[in-house]
Structure 1
């Protein structure tokens, strides 16, 4: 039992929660290089989902995929395959459908986490092969689509405990900052805040609609990261938090690996490093303990 309350943890979402699903899908080729990404995770060590799975004695199920979006009918994420092609990954809507086929009906003591939304917003900033935009959308539409999946979890699958991890401050991502484009940085800030506000609003409306049959919580991942960047030393993070462990090669520069012993906030252009992952797991546990007090 996790925290003496939850019999099983279920993780849905994108690369922030992926425990190696994309790595297996791409025949152990992505994310790369392997000397940076630990066991196919999008981090240089255990992720927050790994830590929580350990706390639950391994009673967990992870269906999250790197590059996943909220709903592939709006925008989908793709990953590179060994033959040079790209394949579409399951969105959260697809992951919920997969969960239905695997479990049918959830136990009331199971806890479902959903972490998604960053890739949807990335598609508005980074046009190209990674994302396939199929319909125009706004942050409000994204939040409504996410609410539909949460409603399916609660009403159709019988979930009684759902935690939505909102979107981290994308305007602080090293990849966004590296553009040096004030317009992109501002759009990343504006879109992230708008999506997080819309998620909070839609989840509150859904909670009122379905009543106490399912408890829906929104974990403030945005404020979690902001608190670290405001005082990185207090969190045991290198004060130069904008510099990631690994920078991908570009037309102007070769790849860079910072192999010093200082824990860095980011492992790459967007993902949290192992120290921040451990801190996130601890904060999630703290919030859940308070919620169940």
Structure 2
């Protein structure tokens, strides 16, 4: 099923509707892929993806991290993120695998620019936050070329980092004063990577995140003083820290950190994963998703999303105070215990 690009763009505009909080509140604007998708792909596929047991169009067992973050900040949420998105379809794309036109983060930014021509005059932009969360699908789209030697890891990492940094510049130019960007998740630790390519993924993630840190630090250093806060969400380090600690898993009430709650999906590629997800009947779903780190072979469950939302709030508050916040085991456990994040999901978000 290939939907025309015009329809994809129209749904992207509609999907940017602002949800939650008081109308006078600042807004958390999200440009990204599946970890931040609040139902965009489900609308684009007319309800086909993702089906139950995925929760309300999220690629998880509950609300996703950006919903928690917006709620914790007291912000409205405007998300254009869509599962399967890459940074720029001109370089890396999963459209053929999905059979539909998927708006990249570049498309999402372009749409915002065209539909918010006067954003620079908005008084709320002093407090608004733009989130750029992308990268995993670029790797999945390029994985075949990387494994076959048609593209080097150096070329891939350099191209993707340049694209992401370029998009940070676009967000700043459009008027965003406060920006959060995430690095590459630890894809090599997902159940999907168990089927092959783990070593390639591990090397790529390490190289990409190092270059990402260098280039984003250099970009931030060129930002004029008083331009707001710039936050790097170290999702790569977050996944490594939380998966590598039995103490953190125990505090969260997670007993299984290796196999997904939703079993039986084809994990040979992301496209295969999504196509097999479309025919889910629920028989292969675990009894208690809250005890699994991963909901499916690639995406984390609600408790992990919730923790990352709280962690991101701590990062932002630290940046506002010119301080830092790390993902140390003791710090994460303290965060879990302080906010009782190992309890059943309260779902404090509006959907």
TM-score above 0.5: yes
Q: TM-score if structure 2 supplies the norm length?
A: 0.71
CA distance in 2, matches of 1:249, 1:77: 18
Q: TM-score, length-normalised on structure 1?
A: 0.84
Q: Which has the higher contact order (CA 8 A, sep 6+)?
A: 2
Partner of 2:345 in structure 1? none
CA distance in 2, matches of 1:77, 1:151: 25
Query: Quick one: distance in 2 between partners of 1:224 and 1:198?
Result: 18
Q: Is 1:204 matched up with 2:224? A: no
8 Å contact kept, 1:76–1:88: no
The CA RMSD measured in Å over matched residues stands at 2.6
How far apart, in 2, do the equivalents of 1:271 and 1:211 lie?
A: 37
After TM superposition, list the pairs within 5 Å mapping 1:62-141 onto structure 2.
62-78=79-95, 86-104=99-117, 105-106=119-120, 107-125=125-143, 137-141=155-159
| Higher share in strand | 1
Question: 1:26 touches 1:80 (CA, 8 Å); kept in 2?
Answer: no
Consecutive unaligned residues in structure 2, runs of 5 or more = 1-19, 146-150, 268-275, 322-351
1:214 positional shift: 5.0
Match of 1:281 in 2: 309
Paired residue secondary structure (1:24): helix
User: Cα distance 1:103–1:55, how it changes in 2: closer, same or farther (>3 A)?
Assistant: farther
Counterpart in 2 of 1:25?
44
Count of matched residue positions in the alignment of Structure 1 and Structure 2: 271
How far apart in 1 are the matches of 2:180 and 2:264? 32
Quote the offset at 1:13 in angstroms. 0.6
C-alpha change, 1:18 and 1:250, in structure 2 (3 Å) is: closer
Change (3 A) 1:283 1:40: same
Q: Secondary structure at the match of 2:192?
A: helix
For residue 161 of structure 1, what is the aligned residue in structure 2? 178
Q: 1:111 to 1:41 in 2, by over 3 A?
A: same
- Provide the residue aligned with 1:130 in structure 2: none
Q: Structure 1's 79 and 67: CA in aligned 2 closer, same or farther, altered over 3 A? A: farther
Shift of 1:280: 0.7
Deviation at 1:262, TM superposition (A): 4.8
More displaced stretch, 145-154 vs 256-265: 256-265
**Residue of structure 1 equivalent to 2:258:** 242
In the TM superposition, what whole-angstrom CA distance separates every residue of 1:141-176 from its partner, at most 9, and x where no partner exists? Answer: 10001111110110x211111111112110011111
Other-structure match for 2:31: 12
Aligned twin of 2:13:
none
Partners of 1:286 and 1:57 lie apart in 2 by 14
